[in-house]
Structure 1
């Protein structure tokens, strides 16, 4: 049984792990969904983040508890889960390629976040709106196309049947990329519509992921939180051009 620790109330980086756990049919406890008086929420998470007896404390959530082991960092968690959940190739070169793509997805996530917090994460959005507007313009005009072009190229060069990035079977990075596309569509509806017209394979991957039976059941279960403006992806119309 896996235990996933993340902030309550948002999808955030924890959602990339949730999607892998759901697609892999794993048994897991989402601690963010448990009430605090029943061993859930922020106090349960802080026990590992701040506890003096934790030998290898994670820096920040998400982190995964597997028996007595704690695994932190989203890409690292997915690297670990890829084998047991059959969401990564078996060969070493394939595992590293999927991990490399996941790290590139993580770079895109940081850039999307920094459109609304370009100066400091500790400041409110309203305290950095002018800088956010400039950063968002560059993100729309240059960074979204650069990342989308790259992933479209990877999809084009995968010669096996199906809509996936690596080989003929879905991997965890397909789930993560679909999640980022969904987040950017929420945060930048106009810019993403324009960009995705030029990247049909990327849009096809997004749609294929969210039509997967287990992912669809998860999305319809009420356990998948909606995007909101306390999250990584935030919808501020003034940033969409």
Structure 2
């Protein structure tokens, strides 16, 4: 099965959650914009195509299907690559957890763009400092404490008692927060999440991907950005 992934070039962003799933599964896919440029997404975003209309990247094409939104894409890929349990209750729980990952990812983005995505970070620095302080002190502990508890309920090694796309997303979430907020993250007691992140990074396909040039480094154009003044 071959896929086409559409996401902006030059950054990990939300597309990285999908890439990790495809890479772990050993799936054949084309990262279209990296080959053809960001203009390759225009016809889809303007509705000049068959199938569903995506609001924004990332979106994935599989045959005649056009699938947008990270949690929706992963819900589609999971059963096809043994990255989610078979039971309906487990699949619903996986989707719930993934939607919660999407929530904290959005809040992480808003630490550096709390006023408007149309303005530069430098134009909203004072507001960003206030937003980031609340994110560090209140939201990071609340979200990661929830995921730590979910891991404990899953047996300690996997959030769903077996390896799943949610584990891959938790790895990416931890990596992004460690990059953006190293001081704040150093204060968090998260033994199960840290162990999960290490084990995901050691999975053969993921380790090969992380060592390759396909893994774009974190930078100040993505969702997870390191501005020292926002890390307290």
Tell me the TM-score range normalised by the shorter chain: over 0.9
Does the CA contact (< 8 Å) of 2:112 and 2:121 recur in 1? yes
Q: Does 1:50 align with 2:51?
A: no
Does the CA contact (< 8 Å) of 2:33 and 2:39 recur in 1? no
Question: What is the deviation of 1:53?
Answer: 4.2
Normalising by the residue count of structure 1, what TM-score does the alignment of the two structures yield?
0.93
Measure the CA separation in 2 of the matches of 1:58 and 1:149.
Answer: 32
Measure the CA separation in 2 of the matches of 1:219 and 1:191.
Answer: 24
Distance 1:28 1:137, change over 3 A: same
Query: Which one is further off, 24-33 or 76-85?
Result: 24-33
Q: Which segments of 5 or more consecutive residues in structure 2 lack a partner in the other structure?
A: none
Q: Which segments of 5 or more consecutive residues in structure 1 lack a partner in the other structure?
A: 35-39
Aligned length: 231
Specify the alignment match of 2:12 in structure 1. 11
Measure the CA separation in 2 of the matches of 1:87 and 1:177.
Answer: 14
Measure the CA separation in 1 of the matches of 2:47 and 2:89.
Answer: 37
Question: What is the deviation of 1:12?
Answer: 0.4
Specify the alignment match of 1:37 in structure 2. none
Please give the root-mean-square deviation of Cα atoms over the aligned residues, in Å.
1.0
In the TM superposition, structure 1's runs of 4+ consecutive aligned residues that sit over 4 Å from their partners are none
Question: What is the deviation of 1:148?
Answer: 1.1
Q: Deviations over 1:61-83 (max 9, x none)?
A: 00001112100011000000001
Normalising by the residue count of structure 2, what TM-score does the alignment of the two structures yield?
0.97
Measure the CA separation in 2 of the matches of 1:145 and 1:124.
Answer: 28
Alignment equivalent of 2:77, drawn from 81, 92, 95: 81
Q: Deviations over 1:3-54 (max 9, x none)?
A: 00000000000000000001111111111221xxxxx121211121114344
Alignment equivalent of 1:135, drawn from 106, 131, 137: 131
